[in-house]
Each structure stands twice: as structure tokens, then as C-alpha cells.
Amino acid sequence: MIDGSAVGARRIQEGNMSLLTRIERALEPARQVLTPILSDPRLLVGWVVVVAAAVVVLWWDLRERNEALPSLMKGVWTLVVLYSGPFGLAIYWVSGRTQISRDSLWRRGLRSTAHCYSGCGAGEIVGITLAQAILGLVVGWVAAVTFGFAYLFGFGLTVGPLLQEGVGFRDALSDALYSETPSITIMEVVAIGSDLLLAASAHVTDVLFWLALSLSLSLGFLAAFPINVALVRFGVKEGMQNPAEMGNGGAQAAD
């Protein structure tokens, strides 16, 4: 006799595989266009130069005009710019400086996403480098390991500051669980999915490995942004503190 539960599980698995296959086929044109571009060593060299310049601008601005920002957020913005170059710098410029003219829901959403992104991005880089480039795991395990590291890093970046503020360990875990899980999940589904779509067979020495990783991180940020806006809007997240309230920057006009 055939076990009905086994048949049902197999059908669900086949349905999931069918869905993944349809998604992969639908995105095949994008892969065919992007893969050659992201395999060009000249683009990698250019991107490294652009990111380095963006980091220099960020650090100059933090030192000369935004010293009042907490060290945690300085670290967050540094990671964001390292991951996304001028895109990350633009996010900092419009939402993270003390010179913003006024705060808003979308600016709070950008800061909240940046905070999540800084931790998850580090976890994703560690996870995918370990699982794909070093251990050479199959695609499913690469996705699982990478998601685990991204979630762990993102989760830790929320729990750690709460503990430093005197919040109990259990309350910190509970708060991080319900406030961060939605945005981390969406961010990593998009980021890991796009990275594996473009560079599932790439080695750590391949240009494609690093450029696809960089692109996928930024796509994850874009996907998580509206989720974080909604979480802030409905009070699930408080959002990061308004930088205009720090130091003397609030009195300055927006650039």
C-alpha cells in the first residue's frame, strides 16, 4: 500500500521544483545578458576603484561633518558602502547624515534596511564563500548554509545592541525574531536566489563570483526596503534614530 503522506510530500516537492524551474526559465534571458558582463575583469577593477572612492568619501564625511553619529551606525554605513559602492553612499547621504532637513517614513525605512543589510551582507559573503567556493556544496546546500549565516549575522546585529542597552536576553531574542525575520527572509531569498542564478558554478577565483555577489547584495537591499518601511509604519520596528537630532547637524540645511 502506498503511504498517502509520502505521495503528498512528493507532489509538494515536485510542485516546488516545477515552480523553481519556471522561475529559472523566466529569468534565463537576464542571466544570458548579465553573465558575460559580470565576467569581465575590467568591470571588477573598475568596481573596486569606485567602491574605494565611495568609502573614502564616506569616511571623510563621517569624520568632518558627522562625528556625532554612533559608532554602530558608522560601522553599518561603512559595510553598506563596501557592499554597494555609490548606491550605498547615496543611501547614507539621503537618510543617514545629521544634515537631513527632516526625517520621514522612507528615510527611517532606508536606515532600518541598512542596519539589517550590514549584518546579513556579511553573513551572506561568509556563507556563500564557505559553502560554494571552499566546500563546493550542491546548490541547495549552498542556499541553506548561506541563508543560515545571513540570518545569524543579521539576528546578532539586533540582539547585541539590545543586550548592551540592558534588555533581557529572552526579550532581545523575541524582539529580534519578530522584527527582523520578515525583512531578512525577503532580502536573502532575493539576494541568494539572484547570486545562484548568475554564478552557481563560479569559483572564488572567478570575476563572476564576486561581481554577481555584489549585485545580488544590492538587489536584496531593494527587495527588503518596502518590507522595512511597512514594519516601521505599523510599529513592528521602531526604526533607527533620526540622525538630525544628533550633534549640531539638525540645524544645518540638507545638501
Q: Are 225 and 250 a contacting pair, CB within 8 Å?
A: no
Give dist(CA 145, CA 131) in Å, integer: 7
* pLDDT less than 70: residues of the chain: 1-20, 162, 165, 247-255
Give dist(CA 251, CA 24) in Å, integer: 51
Helix, strand counts (H, E) of the chain:
9, 0
Q: How far apart are the first and last CA of the chain?
A: 73
Name the residue among 99, 125, 254 with its Cα closest to residue 188: 125
- The grid coordinates listed for 240 are 533607527
Domain boundaries, the chain: 32-238
Give dist(CA 127, CA 232) in Å, integer: 28
pLDDT of residue 19: 66
pLDDT of residue 177: 84
**Could you report the per-residue pLDDT of 88-99, keeping only the tens digit for each?**
999 999 999 999
- The grid coordinates listed for 241 are 534614530
Please tell me whether residue 41 adopts helix, strand or coil conformation: helix
**Could you report the per-residue pLDDT of 31-50, keeping only the tens digit for each?**
899 999 999 999 999 999 99
Name the amino acid, one letter, at 222: L
- The grid coordinates listed for 36 are 558575460
Q: Is 156 exposed, middle or buried (0-12, 13-18, 19+ CB in 10 A)?
A: middle
Mean of the per-residue pLDDT values for the chain? 87
**Could you report the per-residue pLDDT of 182-208, keeping only the tens digit for each?**
999 999 999 999 999 999 989 999 999
pLDDT of residue 167: 73
Please tell me whether residue 252 adopts helix, strand or coil conformation: coil
